[in-house]
Amino acid sequence: MLKKKNIFFVMFILLLSTILTACGGGGGKNEEGNEGKKDDQFTVAMVTDVGGVDDKSFNQSAWEGLQAFGKANGLEKGSNGYDYLQSKSDADYATNLNTLARKDFDLIYGIGYLLQSAVDEVAQQQKDTHFAIVDSVVEQPNVASITFKEHEGSFLVGVVAGLTTKTNKVGFVGGVEGDLIKKFQVGFEQGVKAVNPKAKVDVQYAGAFDAADKGKQIASSMYGSGADIIYHAAGATGNGVFSEAIDLKVEDPNRDIWVIGVDRDQHEEGNGKTKDGKEFNVTLTSMVKRVDVAVQDLSERAKKGDFPGGEVIEYGIEEDAISIATSDGHLSEEVKGKVQEYTDKINKGEIKVSAK
């Protein structure tokens, strides 16, 4: 009889232990291995497009914003703080978003308009997770859509190009042709023409955001045809534009040849050395699109319980999210003055920059 009681007692203890483990508190381990995550600990992650987190442009700027948010809130990289998944092809988008959702991240970003359909699909499947799409709009109650007035910033670097060109030939290299990159193109063209009606703008698209070799090939053709300034809106493809400009400068150090960067200050991408070791830089300026600011701002809002689900948030010059870089030291005071003049006119509504 005593032996039976002991057996029942042991079985009861084992059953109780199993129940407590399954119901474990915030310090436990969830289905996907988020060991140590507390109930009130806010976590955030992002999925890159094919350009990758180190594209020195759009994705990298977003990641810098996420890192800044993590640092400001005492979070560490990983499943219990902030993290990213890199996509190697468009087939990875939905998979990566679902992976992060199953890891219980509170907010998940899809970086770039190429992820629009994947975010739309996964948001409908993971209704308890908050998502954000950058550079596109997803009409779901658990998705916030972040957009920018890229055409305004592109107009300003167009002003720089129009005033700086000595050949009256400038180029625009786009990644994948579509409504978004078209905003960069037409804004740039309007800015060039506003200050230099005689200048011609050569426009070409690479058909990809991760093809530096294609960017280099297009740049070679444009520079070879007399362009002395190229503005790129092509992600990692734009790295090839910088590479070609640097190579040409090495061959002829006296040649005036420039690249206008995009999304972040791309000054460093323009660094080079002549054959005799003299340093130079081919970055004229950059159209700075503060994806990092937008990502950090929305993450803070979501952490405070103010997630703008179903809303479209637009950032432009007025919000200090669109500007041009002046750190390179290549812009004359006259050019800077003109840029400020047009910035003021845009802010006052005296100039309406078309996005189409």
d(CA 10, CA 91): 51
Burial letters 183-202, b for 16+ CB under 10 A, else e: bbbbbbbbbbbbbbeebbbb
What pLDDT score was predicted for residue 28?
37
Fold entry, domain 44-148+292-315: Rossmann fold (3.40.50)
What pLDDT score was predicted for residue 2?
43
Q: Give the Cβ contact number of residue 254 at 10 Å.
A: 5
Closest CA to 169 of 218, 224, 212, 247: 224
Q: Give the Cβ contact number of residue 247 at 10 Å.
A: 15
May I ask the CATH class of domain 150-288+326-348?
A: alpha beta
Structure tokens belonging to residue 205: 């698209």
Tell me if residue 260 falls in helix, strand or coil.
Answer: strand
What torsion do the CA atoms of 121, 311, 286, 46 make, to the nearest 10 degrees? -40
pTM above 0.95, yes or no: no
Distance spanning both ends of the chain, measured CA to CA = 87
Longest dimension (CA), the chain: 104
CATH 3.40.50.2300: which residues of the chain?
44-148+292-315, 150-288+326-348
Q: What is the DSSP letter of 91?
A: T
pLDDT in tens, the chain (356 residues): 444 445 554 454 444 444 444 443 333 334 444 555 556 789 999 999 988 898 878 899 999 999 999 999 999 999 999 999 999 999 999 999 999 999 999 999 999 999 999 999 999 999 999 999 999 999 999 999 999 999 999 999 999 999 999 999 999 999 999 999 999 999 999 999 999 999 999 999 999 999 999 999 999 999 999 999 999 999 999 999 999 999 999 999 999 999 999 988 999 999 999 999 999 999 999 999 999 999 999 999 999 999 999 999 998 888 889 999 987 679 999 999 999 999 999 999 999 999 99
Those residues with Cβ within 8 angstroms of residue 170's Cβ, 6 or more apart along the chain or in another chain: 161, 162, 192, 199, 200, 201, 202, 227, 228, 229, 230, 231
What pLDDT score was predicted for residue 39?
60
Tell me if residue 134 falls in helix, strand or coil.
Answer: strand
